[in-house]
Structure 1
Amino acid sequence: MDQTKEPLLVVKGLKKHFPFKKGMFSKETGYVRAVDGVDFTVYRGETLGIVGESGCGKSTTGQMILQLLEPTEGEIWFEGRNLSTLGKAEVRTLRQHLQMIFQDPYSSLNPRMRVEEIVAEPLRVHGTHKGSELKEKVVELLRLVGLDAHHMSRHPHEFSGGQRQRIGIARALALNPSLIVCDEPVSALDVSIQSQVLNLLKKLQKELKLTYIFIAHGLPAVKHISDRIAVMYLGKIVELAERDELFANPRHPYTEALLSAVPIPDPTQRKERIVLQGDLPNPANPPSGCHFHTRCPYVQDVCRQTAPTLTEGTAGHFVSCHFPLGQS
Structure 2
Amino acid sequence: MTLLEVKNLKKYYEISQGLFKPKVVVKAVDNVSFSIKKGETFALVGESGCGKSTTGKTLLRLTGTTSGEILYKGKDLLALSAEKMRSLRAEMQMVFQDPYASLNPKMTIKQILMEPLRVHNKFQPEERLEKILKILEIVGLSKEHLDRHPNEFSGGQRQRIGIARAVILNPDFIVADEPVSALDVSVQSQVINLMLELQKEFGLTYLFISHDLSVVEHMTDRVAVMYLGKIVELVDTEELFANPKHPYTQALISAVPASHPKEVKERIVLKGDVPNPANPPSGCTFHTRCPFAMDICKSVVPALTEIESGHITSCHLYTNNKEEK
Same fold (TM over 0.5): yes
Check conservation: 1:261, 1:274, Cα contact below 8 A.
yes
Alignment of 1:274-293 (within 5 A): 274-293=268-287
Quick one: which amino acid aligns to residue 203 of structure 1? E
Structure 1 stretch displaced more, 122-131 or 253-262: 122-131
Q: Identify the match of residue 69 of structure 1 among 63, 74, 93.
A: 63
1:22 partner SS: coil
Kept in 2: contact 1:231–1:255 (CA 8 A): yes
- Alignment partner, residue 301 of structure 2: 307
Aligned to 1:269: 263
- Contact 1:252/1:321 (<8 A) preserved: yes
- Displaced runs of 4 or more, over 6 A: none
Q: Quick check: 1:294 aligned with 2:254? A: no
> Structure 2 regions of 5+ residues with no counterpart?
none
How far does residue 272 in structure 1 lie from its aligned partner after superposition? 1.4
How far apart in 2 are the matches of 1:126 and 1:82?
21
Aligned residue among 79, 82, 85 for 2:76:
82
Q: Is the 8 A contact 1:139 1:148 kept in 2?
A: yes
The residue number in structure 2 matching 1:164 is 158
Residue 14, structure 1, aligned to residue 33, structure 2: no
Partner in structure 2 of residue 3 of structure 1: none
* 1:237 lines up with 2:220 in the alignment: no
- Tell me the residue number matched to 1:188: 182
Superposed CA deviations along residues 216-275 of structure 1, whole A, max 9, x for unmatched, are 011011111100011000000000110110000000000000011111122222121111
CA shift for structure 1 position 284? 1.0
Decide whether the 8 Å contact of 1:59 with 1:215 is kept in 2: yes
The 1-side partners of 2:318 and 2:185 are apart by 34
CA distance in 1, matches of 2:70, 2:100: 30
**Could you tell which deviates more after superposition, 192-201 or 139-148?**
139-148
Consecutive unaligned residues in structure 1, runs of 5 or more: 1-5
The answer to whether the 8 Å contact 1:47/1:226 transfers is yes
Q: 1:199 aligned to 193, 204, 223, which one?
A: 193
Q: Secondary structure at the match of 1:313?
A: strand
Letter in 2 for 1:253: P
Give the Cα separation in 2 of the matches to 1:35 and 1:10.
16
Q: Which one-letter code corresponds to 1:146 in the other structure? A: G
Identity %: 58
1:18 alignment partner AA: Y
CA contact (8 A) 1:19 1:28 kept: no
Q: Per the alignment, do residues 28 and 136 of structure 1 end up closer, same or farther by CA in structure 2, a change over 3 Å counting? A: farther
Q: Secondary structure at the match of 1:238?
A: strand
Deviation at 1:28, TM superposition (A): 5.2
The C-alpha deviation readout for 1:92-136, integer Å capped at 9, x for no partner, is 011111100000100000011000000111111111134221111
Which amino acid is the alignment partner of residue 272 of structure 1? E
Whole-Å separation in 1 of the counterparts to 2:3 and 2:22: 37
Q: 2:199 and 2:126 mapped to 1: Cα distance?
A: 27
User: How many Å separate the matches in 2 of 1:322 and 1:135?
Assistant: 57
Task: Please tell me whether residue 127 in structure 1 is matched to residue 109 in structure 2.
Answer: no
For residue 171 of structure 1, report the CA deviation from its aligned partner.
Answer: 0.3
Q: Is contact 2:235–2:311 with CA below 8 Å preserved after alignment?
A: yes
Q: Is 1:40–2:29 an aligned residue pair?
A: no
Alpha-carbon distance in structure 1 between the residues aligned to 2:263 and 2:212: 21
Paired letter, 2:18: G
C-alpha distance in structure 2 between counterparts of 1:304 and 1:182, whole Å = 35
Are the counterparts in 2 of residues 103 and 185 from structure 1 also a CA contact under 8 Å? yes
Say if 2:306 and 2:313, in contact at 8 Å, map to a contact too: yes
Match of 1:23 among 8, 15, 18: 18
Separation in 1 of the partners of 2:125 and 2:3?
34
Aligned-residue RMSD, C-alpha: 1.4
What do the CA deviations read for 1:16-71 (whole angstroms, capped 9, x no partner)?
A: 1110113347x751211111110000000000011000000000000000100111
Aligned residues: 321
Question: 2:307–2:318: 8 Å Cα contact kept in structure 1?
Answer: no
Residue 309 of structure 1, CA deviation: 1.1
